[in-house]
A = this chain, B = another copy of it.
Amino acid sequence: MNTSSTRLRSTADERRTGVLPQALRVFAKTGYHATPVSDVATAAGISQGYVIRLFGTKLELFVAVVDACFERIAEALDAGSEHVRGGEPQEVLDAMSDAYVELIADRDLLMLQVHAQSAADIAEVRDAIRRGMARVTQLVSDRSHAAPEQVQRFIAYGQLCHLIVTAELDQIDRPWARTLTQGIRHLEPLTTKAGEEVKS
> In the assembled complex, which residues on chain B have CB atoms less than 8 Å from the CB atom of A176?
133-134, 137-138, 141
User: A152 vs B169: C-alpha distance in the bound complex, in angstroms?
Assistant: 13
Task: Give the A interface residue count (CB, 8 A).
Answer: 46
Say how far A116's CB is from chain B's closest CB, in angstroms: 9
Binds B, one of A25-33, A46-54, A56-64, A67-75: A25-33
Bound-state CA distance A37–B180 (Å) is: 34
Contact of A33 among B34, B162, B163 (CB under 8 A): B34
CB < 8 Å neighbour of A177 from B134, B162, B175, B178: B134
List residues of chain B with CB within 8 A of the CB of A186. none
Cα A172 to Cα B172 with chains together (Å):
38
Q: Is A85 an interface residue (CB 8 A)?
A: no
30 example contacts (A-B, Cβ-Cβ < 8 A) are as follows A29-B121, A31-B119, A34-B119, A114-B114, A114-B117, A114-B118, A117-B162, A117-B163, A117-B166, A118-B118, A118-B166, A120-B166, A120-B167, A130-B169, A130-B172, A133-B167, A133-B169, A134-B174, A141-B179, A148-B178, A149-B182, A152-B160, A152-B179, A152-B180, A155-B180, A156-B157, A156-B160, A159-B160, A159-B162, A159-B163
A126 within 8 A of B: yes
